[in-house]
């Protein structure tokens, strides 16, 4: 029965001569190789199992890449691995042409045997076998979906061994799941490489939008390109039209990533490098390999001089303007770059092109306009600013100063819901800013110029009601996140230089506003519980320390409620955890609705337990608070709550706890079948300073004791700790 299962799993016929022990080994190989996506682990498991199954001294695994005609020694196993030299060979790349005896295995999927005592053995094969002390070899292809992806070499070093048909069939059987697993692991590795390449592209984009120093951007692009492609070196040259030369601008070397090259700034005339000129002006990608017999002799001499085995040169252009070259260099291997890798290098090269273009623009503007220095200083401060309101205030002031206007003439609009554009006060919340007239400007749909700027993602200007108008979009990730609406004095036109400067500032502002938004979001996530929206455990203790210190300093009371949902585990077991999450969220809503806004403080303490701080609320004697909350409780009772607040216990903290308890009890959460409403109750423990605690820790401990008493006395009740 097990043999038949193996036949079905492996897709081959199991010869009757192979006994059950070998069939079980085949199943073990199948299970072992499918338990991991790490290619090295898969190959090692295959090597060990196959060597053990056929009782050979050594098993070597090779991966085959037909597109490059190369064979990679990927894994091996033998009983005495410490004294063998196999580990030193792992990773070695062998050209297909250097192993002609294996062509029938790799190209035709044949199984071959080689024996040292065979007088017809090829001399080159005999030399290799003698070098490694091999007496006999069995070469078996690794085949998946009709394609050979590698081969297994079974080496016997103890004596000459003639492999039988049973040995061959068993080896074939064991390589089937191995080939499948290797294919899967390759796909997984390819996906990891793809993800790494995307990360490199995103990192370079982030550097481009967040760094002002373009040399640093080039270094980032250089490093990320080399890492993403796994190359030994990456170099960026800038084209200098005036000198008709390439200037060495950035380099990253994998062997010494922190090295500062003395080649930076070196000028190489294009007349000395005709290939570079054609790449630069014709926009072609050139791959040069030392092993290529058609490689020009001058190029070959240069590559040999610098120890280069492969080079990939990609032109850097901005629009139709040549900007330079990005060159990937391999010094340790003869490499062929795939079309996907070339496309990635082109994408990364675009970032270097933009960086080079910005550098040139900066140089021109620095020479002709001293105001640019102050503009970039402002940009740096915008990028580091973490308050969106302050960012926009600074932008308005800088634009007005740049154009010689009153800052009230610069309006800011940000994208809101349904692609509407509103003032920052509406889009971001009021905040304590100096938006002045801008904050209170009337809302309305974008005008004609604004619509053109938003649609075209470019600066648009015109004359409106006798005054010059300039609309500059705030572009981020290919879409307008807002715009600057600038009203000039009179009907004069804004110059191209002014428009360009404002657009640069707007681009930096868009990134800075997004950074500020992300920072505020992260800051909020750090202090709140994601499920209930209440503050988290850590924030509760920070607030507790603050409120307790304030209560001590000013001699005011402070009460603490500890709430726990009754029988919550049983609720989850009955209705399921998704509905349990809904209950936790609903309790959070109840707490927010029953507490004083911006005064009381509610937090998720942990699991199904909550904590509520009531500043300036005593355990007894809070007449005004008690009266107000008693009326609220009466309203809840009139709506059908089960029990009333005992008249004798009219203190503030107790009434708040009772009100929360009744609100939770009255709330209903629809169950998954949308028919049966689910109810929960809470038990509440109350403790107060100074009556029942002399420290913040003691306040928590005593509230917890009161909560335990409420649980012990039947749950769904409020108990107060009395010292």
Task: Supply the residues annotated as catalytic.
Answer: 608
| DSSP β-ladder status, 682-689 and 718-720 | parallel
H runs (alpha helix) in 385-432: 388-403, 424-428
Q: Using alpha carbons, select from 586, 618, 604, 592 the residue that is nearest to residue 541.
A: 604
Residues written for the chain = 723
Segment (H or E) for 320: none
Number of Cβ atoms within 10 Å of the Cβ of 108: 9
Contact 384, 212 (CB under 8 A): no
What CA–CA distance (Å, rounded) separates 681 from 666? Answer: 9
| Angle, alpha carbons 292-293-294 (nearest 5°) | 90
Contact 39, 150 (CB under 8 A): no
What CA–CA distance (Å, rounded) separates 435 from 442? Answer: 13
Inter-axis angle of helices 568-575 and 577-594, nearest 10: 130
| Angle, alpha carbons 198-203-205 (nearest 5°) | 95
Ordered DSSP codes for 413-425: EEE-GGG-EE-HH
Contact 629, 655 (CB under 8 A): yes
What CA–CA distance (Å, rounded) separates 611 from 701? Answer: 12
H runs (alpha helix) in 73-122: 86-89, 103-108
Phi-psi region of 496 (alpha: psi -120 to 50; beta: other; left: phi over 0): alpha
Tokens (6 digits) for 462:
């015109």
Contact 316, 326 (CB under 8 A): yes
Q: Using alpha carbons, select from 225, 233, 280, 283 the residue that is nearest to residue 253.
A: 233
Backbone angles phi, psi at 482, to 5 degrees: 160, -170
Phi-psi region of 715 (alpha: psi -120 to 50; beta: other; left: phi over 0): left
> Which residues are CB-neighbours of 380 under 8 A, at least 6 positions away?
212
The alpha carbon torsion through 445, 446, 448, 449 (nearest 10 deg) reads: 170
Burial of 134: CB neighbours in 10 Å, binned 0-12, 13-18, 19+: buried
What CA–CA distance (Å, rounded) separates 322 from 318? Answer: 7
Tokens (6 digits) for 452:
């053109």
Tokens (6 digits) for 286:
């050139």
Q: Using alpha carbons, select from 95, 140, 104, 108 the residue that is nearest to residue 122.
A: 104
Q: Using alpha carbons, select from 18, 16, 9, 3 the residue that is nearest to residue 170.
A: 18
Question: What is the separation of C-alpha 556 from the centre of its chain, rounded to a whole number of angstroms?
Answer: 48
Inter-axis angle of helices 371-384 and 339-368, nearest 10: 130
The alpha carbon torsion through 342, 343, 347, 348 (nearest 10 deg) reads: -30
Burial of 110: CB neighbours in 10 Å, binned 0-12, 13-18, 19+: middle
Tokens (6 digits) for 510:
């868009």
């Amino acid at each position: 029965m097990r043999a038949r299962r193996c036949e079905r799993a492996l897709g081959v016929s199991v010869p009757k001569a192979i006994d059950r022990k070998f069939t079980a080994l085949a199943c073990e190989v199948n299970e072992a190789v499918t338990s991991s996506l790490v290619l090295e682990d898969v190959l090692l498991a295959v090597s060990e199992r196959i060597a053990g199954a056929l009782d050979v001294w050594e098993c070597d695994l090779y991966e085959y890449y037909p597109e490059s005609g190369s064979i990679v020694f990927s894994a091996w196993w033998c009983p005495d691995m410490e004294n063998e030299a196999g580990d030193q060979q792992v990773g070695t790349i062998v050209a297909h042409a250097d192993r002609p005896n294996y062509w029938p295995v790799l190209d035709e999927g044949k199984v071959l045997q080689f024996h040292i005592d065979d007088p017809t053995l090829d001399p080159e094969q005999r030399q290799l076998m003698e070098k490694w002390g091999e007496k006999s070899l069995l070469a078996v292809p690794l085949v998946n979906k009709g394609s050979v992806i590698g081969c297994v070499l079974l080496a016997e070093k103890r004596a000459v061994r003639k492999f039988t048909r049973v040995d061959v069939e068993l080896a074939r059987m064991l390589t089937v799941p191995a080939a499948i697993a290797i294919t899967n692991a390759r796909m997984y590795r390819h996906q990891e490489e793809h993800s790494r390449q995307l990360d490199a592209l995103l990192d370079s984009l982030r550097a481009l939008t967040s760094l002002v120093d373009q040399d640093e951007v080039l270094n980032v692009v250089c490093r990320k390109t080399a890492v993403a492609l796994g190359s030994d070196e990456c170099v960026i040259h800038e084209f200098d039209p005036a000198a008709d030369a390439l200037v060495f601008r950035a380099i990253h070397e994998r062997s010494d990533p922190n090295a500062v090259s003395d080649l930076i700034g070196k000028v190489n005339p294009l007349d000395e490098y005709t290939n570079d000129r054609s790449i630069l002006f014709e926009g072609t990608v050139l791959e040069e390999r030392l092993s290529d017999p058609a490689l020009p002799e001058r190029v070959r001499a240069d590559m040999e001089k610098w120890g280069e085995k492969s080079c990939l040169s990609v032109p850097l252009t901005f629009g139709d303007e040549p900007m330079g070259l990005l060159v990937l260099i391999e010094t340790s291997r003869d490499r062929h770059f795939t079309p996907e890798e070339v496309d990635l290098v082109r994408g990364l090269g675009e970032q270097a092109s933009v960086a080079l273009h910005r550098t040139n623009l900066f140089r021109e503007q620095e020479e002709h306009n001293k105001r640019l220095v102050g503009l970039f200083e402002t940009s740096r401060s915008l990028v580091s600013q973490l308050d969106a309101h302050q960012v926009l205030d600074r932008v308005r002031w800088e634009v007005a100063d740049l154009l010689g206007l009153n800052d009230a003439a610069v309006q800011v609009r940000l994208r809101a819901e349904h692609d509407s554009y509103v003032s920052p006060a509406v889009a971001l919340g009021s905040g304590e800013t100096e938006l002045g007239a801008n904050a209170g400007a009337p809302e309305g749909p974008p005008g004609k110029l604004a619509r053109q700027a938003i649609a075209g993602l470019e600066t648009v200007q015109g004359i409106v009601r006798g005054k010059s108008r300039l609309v500059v979009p705030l572009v981020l990730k290919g879409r307008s996140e807002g715009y600057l609406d600038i009203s000039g004095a009179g009907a004069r036109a804004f110059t191209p230089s002014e428009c360009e400067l404002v657009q640069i500032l707007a681009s930096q502002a868009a990134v800075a506003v997004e950074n500020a938004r992300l920072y505020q979001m992260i800051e909020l996530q750090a202090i709140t519980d994601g499920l209930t929206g209440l503050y988290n455990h850590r924030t509760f203790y920070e607030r507790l320390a603050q409120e307790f210190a304030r209560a001590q300093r000013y001699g005011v009371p402070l009460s603490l409620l500890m709430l726990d949902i009754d029988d919550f585990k049983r609720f989850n077991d009955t209705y399921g955890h998704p509905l349990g999450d809904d209950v936790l969220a609903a309790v959070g809503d109840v707490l927010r609705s029953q507490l004083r806004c911006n005064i009381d403080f509610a937090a998720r303490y942990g699991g199904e337990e909550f904590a509520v701080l009531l500043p300036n609320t005593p355990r007894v004697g809070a007449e005004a608070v008690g009266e107000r909350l008693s009326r609220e409780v009466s309203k809840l009772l009139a709506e059908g709550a089960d029990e009333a607040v005992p008249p004798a216990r009219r203190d503030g903290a107790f009434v708040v706890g009772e009100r929360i308890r009744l609100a939770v009890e009255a709330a209903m959460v629809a169950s998954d079948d949308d028919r049966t409403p689910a109810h929960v109750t809470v038990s509440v423990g109350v403790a107060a300073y100074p009556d029942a605690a002399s420290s913040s820790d003691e306040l928590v401990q005593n509230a917890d004791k009161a909560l335990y008493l409420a649980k012990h006395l039947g749950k769904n009740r409020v108990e107060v700790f009395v010292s």
